[in-house]
Amino acid sequence: MSVFAMPSLGADMEAGTLVQWLVNPGDRVTRGDVVAVVETQKGAIEIEIFETGEIAELLADLGQTLPVGAPLARLATGEDEAPLAVAKPAAGPTAAPAAASAAPPSATEPPAPVEVAVLPLSAVPPAPVGGVVAASPAARTRAAEAGLALAAVSGTGPQGAVLLGDVERHLAAGPAPVADTVAAPPKGKPRLDMAEMRRAIAAAMTRAKREIPHYYLTHEIDLQAAQDWLAATNASRTPDRRLLMGALLVRATVRALAKAPELNGRFEAEPYAPSGPVHCGLAVALRGGGLIAPAILDAAEKGVEAIMEAMRDLVTRTRAGRLRNSELTQGTITISSLGETGVDALTGVIYPPQVALVGFGAPRVRPMVRDGRIEPRLAITVSLAADHRVSDGRRGAAFLAAIDQILQEPETL
């Protein structure tokens, strides 16, 4: 028997609010299955389980705000002598909170919002728990888009949680909501508590500057060869299949780690050991403010096409509030770019417990010397913030030089 606890979703998280269970006592789960949804300063996060077994008992109620490490559920694993006998909950409106049952999605399936099969519940809209209606991330997003108050929707999920299908049925059943019957959220108001998110980010960055001995390097890279290759590659492609320069920068960074593998890892215990897999975090700006850096898992195994697809998917799900906890907790290096803002360079702060952060500024046409002549060429400034406990300036310089060399041969990406 083991206990499944509230996971840490990053250095800037201290607690989370349980808003949805996707399993019930007696359900079989496999490592990587999504079993719950937790709301944090970063939005609604799908929580994966890290063991295979049978859910024996749910230890947390919907609406509870729990600190990292607090028990969520009890799990019977293969080491237990016999399977647990779990009483089936009564059907109908008076069923226990975990009456709804569904098979959790496989870890290999796309991380789309999960709609669970449930027993019939009352048509009365769910009462808010602590002022917040329990709802899936997809339901929240759709309701916000439609200007619909979740309290007006009859939920069919566990404990009356509102699912995406419930929102769609509500919208299809009648006219669009009007201001005097349903309070629509003010235009432009973010769905996240941005003040709380900034406090969490500030706490993590304060810890990083206090505990990590940073050193910084910058380097200018000639991007003209990469830009020419990109233009030729995209010429015959439809817009949805075109590559962006960002995908080339990520791919080059991931490949360059072979020259300085100590920059890829998480300093969580002495002695430090670099990570084998590369889980490359991407700093994603949220609409309305705030920042999240989920990771492209196993990025070293992906070519530039797969990197581009993963970037599109990750940015879309980040802004829709549909990330998984593994994407927030397993990053081994982070890339940040302010290129779209026109900034030439950035000096980053390492996201603990990682040991390096790579920053890219805006690509610009600059005068550069080629074969003894001054030519206008596209160039970019790349910066490195690295942990002096695991590397030094010479190793960092070799890493930046490797990124440069790889980008001069874009056809090899």
What single letter denotes the amino acid at residue 308? M
User: What's the pTM?
Assistant: 0.66
- 191 neighbors 144 (Cβ within 8 angstroms): yes
Of 61, 193, 228, 388, the catalytic one is 388
Backbone angles phi, psi at 395, to 5 degrees: -70, -40
Q: 142: helix, coil or strand?
A: helix
Architecture per CATH, domain 194-412, reads as: 2-Layer Sandwich (3.30)
CB count, 10 Å around CB of 295?
A: 24
Q: CA of 152: how far to CAs of 136, 158, 213, 290, in Å?
A: 15, 17, 52, 29
Exposed/middle/buried for residue 372 (C-beta within 10 Å: 0-12, 13-18, 19+):
exposed
Report the distance separating Cα 274 and Cα 390, nearest Å: 9
Handedness of CA 65, 68, 71, 75 (dihedral sign): positive
Domain definitions of the chain by residue range: 2-173, 194-412
Catalytic-residue membership of 392 = yes
Of 61, 193, 228, 392, the catalytic one is 392
The CATH fold of domain 2-173: OB fold (Dihydrolipoamide Acetyltransferase, E2P) (2.40.50)
CB count, 10 Å around CB of 273?
A: 13
pLDDT (tens place) for every residue of the chain, 413 residues total: 888 888 877 666 678 889 899 999 999 999 888 899 888 776 778 888 888 999 999 999 998 998 888 999 999 986 654 444 443 343 333 333 333 333 444 444 444 433 333 323 233 334 444 445 666 656 766 676 666 767 778 877 655 677 777 777 777 775 433 333 233 333 333 356 677 777 878 888 999 999 999 999 999 999 999 999 999 999 999 988 999 999 999 999 999 999 999 999 999 989 999 999 999 999 988 776 778 899 999 999 999 999 999 999 998 888 887 888 889 889 999 999 987 778 999 999 999 999 999 999 999 999 999 989 999 999 999 999 999 999 999 999 999 999 999 999 999 99
- 257 neighbors 247 (Cβ within 8 angstroms): no
| Residues forming a β-bridge with 264 | none
Structure token digits, residue 342: 């026109």
